[in-house]
Amino acid sequence: MTERRQPHFPDVDQDLLRTIAESIAREAAREAARETARELLPAVKEELRRELTGHCAHCIGDFTQAQHAMHHSRLERLFHTMDKLSENFLGKVLVNLMVWGVLLTVFGYFIFAKLGKVL
C-alpha cells in the first residue's frame, strides 16, 4: 500500500504557507457570506413586509387622514377618561391595576410566544 505524502518545500516556511492558506480560506468565506446576504436580503425584506402588514396593517400607514384623526381622538378620550379616573384614591388604584394588567398581558404574550417557538 502506497503512503500518501504531503508535498514538502524545504525552502518555504510551513507556518507561512499555513497562514496564507488560512487567510485565503477566511477571505473566501467572507465573500461567500456577503454574496449569500446580497441574495437573501430582498427575500427577507419581502417576507418581513408581508408579515408586518398582515399582523398590524393599521400601524404601517394604511390609515387615511380621517381614520388617523379618529384614532387620535379616541386616544385623547381614553387618556382624558383615565386622567379623570385617577383623581381620587380609588381611581388611582383602579388605573394602576389596569396599567399592571396591560403590562403583564403584553409581556406575558411575548414571553409565551417565545417559549412556544422553543418548545
Question: Which tens digits make up the pLDDT trace of 39-89?
Answer: 888 888 888 777 766 655 555 556 677 877 887 888 888 777 777 777 777
pTM: 0.34
- What is the pLDDT at residue 119? 47
pLDDT band for position 28 (50/70/90)?
A: very high
Identify whether the C-beta of residue 32 lies closer than 8 Å to the C-beta of residue 39.
Answer: no
Q: Residues 15, 16, 21, 24: what is their CA dihedral angle, to the nearest 10 degrees?
A: 140
Banded model confidence at residue 38, pLDDT cuts 50, 70, 90: confident
